Amino acid sequence: MRLQYLLVAGMMLAFGACNRPSPEELFSKAKQDLEAKNFAAAIEKYTRVIRDYPESTVAETSMFSLGAIRQNGTHEYREAISAYRQYLERYPKGPRAPEAMFLIGYIFNNEMRMLDSAAQAYQSFLAAYPNHVMAQSARFELDNLGKSPEEILPKNLVAEEPAKKHQHSSAPSPRGKR
């Protein structure tokens, strides 16, 4: 009797494992959901990849993708920062670690207007990656924290833009002449 129970339990486990999607399948479905702008479903699938297959080849990309969805899709900026921080904790030497670190500063600065937090994030980025391709952008962001576009852009460029718009809107349409 006990042997039969073990056989049935083993078969159920084997059958359940067969029906369980692979990390690559979940990842692919998450990408499809993301393309369809079904952010909740994409988040759920990326989270399952990370939870169920933490050592898989797609877990790292799934973790970074959670931050990107929260930042650009759902605009949940605190959650995006949290996801990028989790990425950095789990993959401190990961290929997207510099980008995750930079984006934390970017979100604090440009989305949340938390300038002290942005400054700290950019300074941490520059300390860790002083020669990275985004280091110049981090320095620019630091130098211009809290400034409006008018304070950053050259004055002649700011003055030209409204004039160009006015010229285009007041010019007669070539279709009006016959």
pLDDT reading at 83 higher than 70: yes
Q: Note whether residue 156 is domain-resident.
A: yes
Residues 6+ apart with CB under 8 A from 142: 119, 122, 123, 126
Domain assignment of residue 131, given as a range: 97-164
Q: Note whether residue 174 is domain-resident.
A: no
Domain count, the chain: 2
Distance CA 98, CA 86 (A): 13
Judge if 89 and 121 occupy the same domain: no
CATH number of the structural domain spanning residue 45:
1.25.40.10
Token output for 68 = 């990107």
Mean pLDDT of 94-108: 97
pTM equals 0.76
Cα radius of gyration (the chain): 25
Q: How confident is the model at residue 168 (pLDDT cuts 50, 70, 90)?
A: low
Judge if 69 and 115 occupy the same domain: no
pLDDT reading at 177 higher than 50: no
CA 96 to centroid of chain Cα atoms: 10
